[in-house]
Amino acid sequence: MAGRRSLLSPAALDDYIRDHTRAPDTVERAQHAATAELGGVATMRIDHEQAVLTTLLTQLAAPAVAVEVGTFTGASAMAIARGLPPDATLHCFDRSVDWTDVAQDFWEQAGVADRIRLHLGPADQGLAELPDEPHVGLAFIDADKPGYVGYHDAIVPRLVPGGLLLVDNVLWSGDVVDPEVDDDDTRAIRAYNDHAADDDRLEGVILPIGDGLFVLRRTDD
């Protein structure tokens, strides 16, 4: 989700961070502008700094297979695809034809479309069709919040040892620690964070970048 680059830093520090991060290229700027034209839903796009981090983590993980749940207009998928090793594949799961049509246009412009397989339909059904054995080197979740626990439980058994799971929006504009906020999405995020932290197959840390990114690594064999 786009917005403040960090919930914990003032605007001047956000600007400093941005100025010391790789600048977006022409395709990224065009993708950002096209997403902004969609109106309020544009906040679902990840920030540029988070996209840079996602590419770096993908390069470090070097997955042969990556998975994304919740593609929107394709910024996060493009960030993952740009970090993939040769001949690797990213499986993207999303319900929206309109939003993913925008995504596919920019994947072509970025030269990464051949690395991405888009699956339209419910993500839980799509994930269930993946091989059961561990084969996913990196996964990214940024979809409906009540579905997070289910997506986590479908993905983690399929992660290879050392594989990464990145989960977006886990600070939810700070509402996760506000006792006066008790809507369905906030409760779902809190439940997910507890679920992930208690999963003894993983070790992880929540980073205050964007709207909060949970970075988890599978440690068991």
State mean pLDDT over 157-184.
97
What global pTM score does this model have? 0.94
Determine, yes or no, domain membership for 92: yes
Determine, yes or no, domain membership for 61: yes
Determine, yes or no, domain membership for 162: yes
- CATH number for the domain that contains residue 193: 3.40.50.150
The tally of domains found in the chain comes to 1
Determine, yes or no, domain membership for 198: yes
* Chain mean pLDDT for the chain: 95
Determine, yes or no, domain membership for 166: yes
- Give DSSP secondary structure letters for the chain: --S-S-TTS-HHHHHHHHHTSPPP-HHHHHHHHHHHTT-GGGGGSPPHHHHHHHHHHHHHH--SEEEEE--TTSHHHHHHHHHPPTT-EEEEEES-HHHHHHHHHHHHHHT-GGGEEEEES-HHHHHHTS-SSS-EEEEEE-S-GGGHHHHHHHHGGGEEEEEEEEEE-SSGGGGGG-TT---HHHHHHHHHHHHHHT-TTEEEEEE-STT-EEEEEE---
Q: Which domain holds residue 86?
A: 11-218
Determine, yes or no, domain membership for 4: no
Determine, yes or no, domain membership for 1: no
Determine, yes or no, domain membership for 6: no
Model confidence at 15, pLDDT cuts 50, 70, 90, reads confident
